[in-house]
Structures are given as structure tokens and as C-alpha cells.
Structure 1
């Protein structure tokens, strides 16, 4: 594959007093390049194949900032492994401020890209920023009801005691009560299904370990969240990349919300939730996304 030589820089930016760790991928030979901000899914980090997408965009002449939310990975934050949608959206705002102020980037040509829970965040952020040039939502979390139903009653019931204990700990300022992020079908886990744990582990680089835990308090927030509703308020072109066999973020609500986006485009893939990060489905998705971003960022 031909394209620009890409240089990766380790950077950080401030988010409400904490640091977010990020990689900035710059295409050599491009002055004031357009840029896309990339955010990951539930309990993940930028290492879990977000960088693979960022590298491909940069090779096409679009700089890419792949960051890790506070409380996870090498980013700051005192409450480790605590997922807060509110905090994550603040991190996205901080990332946008960072790229808009960066001297090597064209702050007037900015896009956002999110996957899974990050896909829901990308929809929300895009709805709040009409100045964005484009947005991409990959296998996005759009409906808490659909995701909770997909988890199943057994896993949901097994999580309930930990959720209650963690909410009490939160109210009292105690340490978070952690539960597994991923597990097999009917497991006590935030994401449960055949092969889900192995899929999460496989996204980590060789020699690195997936930290399979997160605070249980996110469960009611997930159940009540419907970021897909914001699609109708996204003024920028937005591409929805939907996995047809997704059992983590079911496709039907996403397709329904996508139809309401004024400038929405949809691509579907014969894939499960994690297939789109690797192999044939990755190649198909990243090609579609690169074409979309190049077209709308005038790269």
C-alpha cells in the first residue's frame, strides 16, 4: 500500500487537570494537514487497534490523534478503571482543543472517529460541534436499552449486587467495586458472549495484557444512555459503519438512528462486534472510512 510516510509522536493533553495520553500520527510532506480525533470503546485504550486505523488515515494524508480516556491505560485520573461518559465527553472536548491549537494541523479541517462506546461519544460530540468537517461512528453504542437486552438477563442479574455495592462506594467516597469487562455467555461481565474475552485480549499488542475490569457503576448509566438520538442533530457528514452480527451494540437501533442524520452515510459488514478491528473486515472498514474522510476533509 502506497501513501505518506507516517511519524508517530507520543503526546499528552490536559483534561480537567489530568493528562490524557495520546499518539499523534503525522503524514510527512503535508503542511497544516487535516486531522481526525480517535476515541476507543468501553474499558479499552488506544493500543487496542485504534492506532491501526489512525496509521491508515495518516498514510492518506490525514493526521490522526488516538487518545486514551482518563482512568485507563497510561492516561491520568485518580479513579482507575472507572468509566464515566460525562468525563469521556470532557476528554473529547479537550482533544479537540488540542488539535485545533496545534501548529502542524489545520484546525478548520477536523473530524472525529469513535468505536463502540467511543462511537456513541463521537455522535454526541459531532452533534455539539457543527464546525466539524466529518464524523465516523464504528459499531457504535447508540441504545442502552438494546445493549442491556443483548447482555441478557443472567449476566445482568449477576452484575446487580456489584452495581449496588459500587454505587454505595461512590456515594461514600470509597474505592470502586470492579467487575470483569468481558466474559463468556451468561458471565458476570459488562460484555458477555461467546469469544468476547478472547476477542478483547487479541486486540492488545504482543506482550501486553488486557486489563479485564471496570467499575460496576457504569451499568445504569449505560442502560439509560441513548447517544444515537443525537444523530439527527449532526450537521456534518457522518459515516456509520455497522456490524450486521453485532451482539454487543446491536445494529437495528443504529441503522434507525443513522437514517435520521441529515448527512448520514451507512456501510454494513458481515461481522461481529470485534471482527471489524482485524483481518478482512478491518480492511473493508478502514478503506471505506479513509475514502470518506479524504472526501470530506479535502485531503
Structure 2
């Protein structure tokens, strides 16, 4: 703001003019105080009139002197440059519809806010420059050969890597047979058989398990054209419940950086159903008929 006032304005004379205005205000106050007090001396009436007139004339002379000084300083102050720093935006203050379109007041508020933002940004920049981050990845002078190469994300894994992970999981569980196929391109689809208990269809995106469908061992998992039926549910309520619990497991366990860990955990959890119709319930001691299957919380 100082730069704006310095354009065509004598700041020293401006400050003296403000002092002259204060002196003129004091002189006017003394004149009115003199008129208010009147003739209060204990002399004769003629002496009171002479003293009052003399005192009143002195106050008027002070007012006249201060007024001349103010006029003289006003000529020294000068006038601001005609080129307004806001250009045509300075004419917004002349808008008579301030109550409906207060553009000028909003413009001044935005200007103050931007100045304050610039000030705080300068302080923050000074504080950050004092911190020497030696291990920063953006450090100047670091060779491009020494920078670590970006690791491939889990969404762009090569099909060979996905096949290796599935084959390792297949070897971990001998009682579970896993057959991998890619009927829709690069996304794998697993057809798993757990003993003689159930069959599972797993739809994946690379290594992320997208959806699972659990059906009974004696149910048909193929459609009439020989493709896997990935839409129809099981005909048995118990396996529909198992499907719901499997979906809950996948929603509960999510490790985007390590999807192979989630796959192994899911296979380990699913393996617990190998004795679902052979072992009695640990709570009631009865064999499963119409009850609920094992949930992921029990695991």
C-alpha cells in the first residue's frame, strides 16, 4: 500500500498536514471554550470585557495561523497520479447499487486476503528453507542412475507372475484343486474344488479377488455352451451362506500392496470347510444339517 500512496504524493508534507489538522482542531476547541466560559474574572465590568476580547482575539489568531499553515501544506502534498492502480476497477466504487452488487468491497477484501496470503507464504518458505532434507528424492545433484526404479503396481502385473502365485498356492493345499483359465483376456478365473464338499468359482483382476461363488460338490458349474456359470447362485441355502461369508472375508481383508497375501489367507480360510459335513459343531456338538456354516470371525 505504501507504493500506491507514494505515486504523486509527498509523504512528509502529508504527515505535517495531518499534524496541522490536529492543531487547527485544538485551536477551534479553545475558541469555543472561550465563548462557553465568558467573562468570569473578578475585575470591573470594563476590565472583564477587555480581558475577554483580548483572549478571544488570541484564539482567533491561532485559528487563522493554523488554517494558513494547513493550506500551505495542502499545496505541498500534491495529488495522486491519474493512472489509478486499479484502472477501470476503481470506478466500481461509484456504483450506486452497492446493496445489490458490492463488487468494489469484495475486490478490496480479496486484495487484502491476497496480501496476507503472500505474507504467510513468505514466512513458510523461509522456515522450509531452513530444513535440510538430505534424503529427499528431489535433492539437486542426484544422478538419475542412482534413483530407485518405480516398482510395477499390482494392476499391471504380468500374467506369468500371476500364474506363478496361483501355482504356489495350489501346491500349499493338496486337498484343494485349482484350475486357472482366462476366458475374457488377461483377467484370470479360478475353478476350485475342495475335497468332495464344495466347488468355488473365483473371478479375479490380476491378483485381486473380485467375486466368488460357492456351490455344492454335485452342482453343475457350467452353462449349456460349456462356459463357467459366474452368475447363478447355489441351489442350497448353506452354500449361499458360504458365498456371503466369503464375500465378507474379501471385504474385510484388503492389502492393496500385497494381494498375494490376501489370496493365501482366503484359501486358508476356505480350506476350513473340508470337514464341514464330517466334524461336529464345536458349540453344540451336532453335525451340520440346516445350520450356518463357518464364518470368517470364527476363523
- TM-score if structure 2 supplies the norm length? 0.21
**Higher helix proportion:** 2
- TM-score if structure 1 supplies the norm length? 0.21
Larger Rg: 2
**Higher strand proportion:** 1
